[in-house]
Amino acid sequence: MSYDLAVWEGERPADDKTAVQVFNDLYDRLIDAETHQPPTERIADYVAALLERWCDLAEDEDDTSPWSTGPLIGEARGPLVYFPMRWSMAEVASAFAANLARSMGLVCFDPQLNKLKP
């Protein structure tokens, strides 16, 4: 079982209801798309910063990475990265990911709860 987060470029939605709509639109346009759009520079930088904290799954010899998929950059599409993490590490990893997103001017959204992360 995994815990997912979505992080994207753009203005922070005014409320959770609007965030759900923005996320669904991005997901439909980018994740479900027939063609793969490479990540934007800001999203690539965000993923690189996540990987500075915890290694990519393919490099995780000590089983310390929270990511449930790898390479993590493979989950990025254009201005969106939608990525799973291990449930057992989700609390710590999602808090770090949300704080990092905020510090980089990105939006972080919890699709399980349909809520913006603070």
Q: pLDDT for 24-71, tens place per residue?
A: 999 999 998 888 899 999 999 999 999 999 999 888 788 889 999 999
Domain count, the chain: 1
d(CA 48, CA 17): 30
- Number of separate helices (H) and strands (E) present in the chain: 3, 5
Element (H, E) at 5: strand 2-8
Q: What is the pLDDT of residue 90?
A: 95
pTM metric for this prediction: 0.95
Q: What is the pLDDT of residue 62?
A: 83
Q: Please state which of the ranges 58-67, 78-87, 97-106 shows the lowest mean pLDDT.
A: 58-67
Tokens representing residue 6 in the block? 């979505």
Q: Which domain holds residue 30?
A: 2-116
- Name residues whose C-beta falls within 8 Å of residue 32's C-beta, 6 or more positions apart in sequence: none
